[in-house]
């Protein structure tokens, strides 16, 4: 290829400088930055493409299927998914995983109704529109969990229709985990035998496997599918994720594609082959003990943030096993400076692995300064 013109090179250099500068202020969004994958750079020279089922043998050979299969096995182990009863693939991120789970549910129960909390990620409302699926939004509690009384009453009123429940395993703003035991007990009490539960575990799906006393979150808790992001806690330069589902459901949507010689049970046709390489490399580097230490350090950092907020007279809190620290919404200039995610009267910072004590101290100092009355002129 011809070299970049000097003006284009200069533009990229300027862009890199800006990204390096703002990277030090990322505290409100769950994207890890403690990674580096130099060994993967040579693969950018090839048109790697994971098209179709990663467990098939495609005619198109420039793929990373063997690595994708190992990644899936790793997630199956830690999300408590029986190997012989579940299937999965590496996605472009949490939204595709959520779309896949609800797509399977809609194919299983075409007349079903999707129930999701008002605290659910915004992708849920978008997905039900894409699928043209019936849906009902359930009230949420102040702590971010779904309102179980509202869910139960709504299910009772629509007992004749299979429910498709979109459960949150770590809500976007609060880090709240919906109680899967309560939901399963509710279905049993109402004698609802045809139901589907999809779990959105974008961030917490790679936190809960590494703590001593996790809330129920995996397939052993009765879910039918789960979506986890790879660029959140694991860390990736490109958005990616993993979706797992019960094999019996995925087989309903499988289609043979002669063009590439595989069955396709995925949403996308062409898929990134770099995502599986990134996730595989991350687990090779960290290992289980490394991931466990990483989670523990992030939880300790969240407690440090709460203690610093308390010392500054600012209320803050987090859920058990969550690294999302919720506090009152600060001034707009603080939100912009620190890339803090706000929602109505609250905001949060997330103690991802790259967030240090010094960073937290500076954030809280700015929050405190923004709350002080502005001196009047002479």
Residues taking part in catalysis:
322
Asked whether 175 and 322 are in contact (CB, 8 A), the reply is: yes
Q: How far apart are CA 122 and CA 233, in angstroms?
A: 20
From the centroid of its chain, how far is CA 190? 31
Main-chain phi, psi angles of 347, to 5 degrees: -145, 175
Q: Considering Cα of 85, then 87, then 93, then 97, what sign does the dihedral take?
A: negative
**String of DSSP letters for 113-128:** EEEEETTS-THHHHHH
- Residues with Cβ within 8 Å of 133's Cβ and at least 6 positions away in sequence, in order, are 102, 106, 112, 113, 114, 127, 164
The label of the residue with tokens 């230490």 reads 293
Edge to edge, the sheet with strand 113-117 lists 86-91, 241-246, 225-229, 196-200, 163-168, 113-117, 134-138
């Amino acid at each position: 290829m011809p070299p970049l013109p000097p003006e284009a090179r200069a533009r990229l250099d300027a862009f890199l400088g800006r990204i390096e500068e703002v990277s030090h202020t990322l505290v409100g969004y769950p994207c890890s930055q403690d990674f580096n994958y130099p060994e993967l750079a040579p693969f950018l020279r090839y048109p790697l493409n994971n098209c179709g089922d990663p467990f098939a043998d495609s005619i198109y050979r420039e793929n990373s299927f063997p690595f994708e299969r190992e990644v899936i096995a790793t997630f199956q182990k830690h999300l408590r998914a029986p190997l012989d009863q579940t299937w999965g693939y590496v996605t472009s991120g949490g939204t595709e995983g959520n779309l896949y789970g609800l797509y399977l549910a809609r194919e299983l129960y075409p007349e079903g109704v999707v129930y999701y909390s008002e605290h659910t990620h915004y992708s849920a409302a978008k997905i039900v529109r894409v699928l043209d699926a019936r849906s009902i939004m359930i009230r949420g509690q102040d702590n971010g969990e779904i309102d179980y009384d509202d869910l139960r009453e709504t299910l009772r009123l629509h007992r004749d229709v299979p429910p498709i429940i979109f459960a949150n395993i770590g809500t976007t703003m609060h880090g709240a985990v919906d109680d899967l035991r309560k939901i399963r007990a509710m279905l049993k009490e109402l004698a609802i035998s045809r139901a589907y539960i999809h779990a959105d575990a974008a961030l917490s799906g790679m936190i809960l496997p590494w703590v001593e006393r996790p809330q129920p979150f995996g397939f052993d808790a009765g879910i039918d599918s789960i979506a986890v992001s790879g660029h959140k806690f694991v860390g990736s330069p490109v958005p990616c994720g993993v979706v797992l589902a019960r094999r019996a459901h995925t087989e309903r949507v499988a289609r043979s594609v002669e063009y590439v010689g595989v069955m396709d049970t995925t949403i996308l046709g062409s898929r990134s082959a770099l995502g599986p390489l990134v996730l595989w490399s991350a687990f090779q580097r960290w290992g289980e003990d490394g991931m466990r230490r990483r989670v523990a350090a992030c939880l300790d950092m969240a407690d440090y943030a709460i203690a610093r907020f308390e010392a500054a007279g600012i209320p803050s809190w987090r859920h058990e096993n969550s690294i999302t620290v919720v506090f009152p919404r600060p001034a707009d200039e603080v939100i912009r400076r620190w890339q803090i995610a706000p929602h109505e009267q609250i905001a949060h910072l997330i103690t991802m692995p790259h967030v240090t004590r010094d960073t937290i101290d500076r954030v809280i100092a700015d929050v405190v300064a923004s709350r002080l009355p502005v001196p009047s002129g002479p």
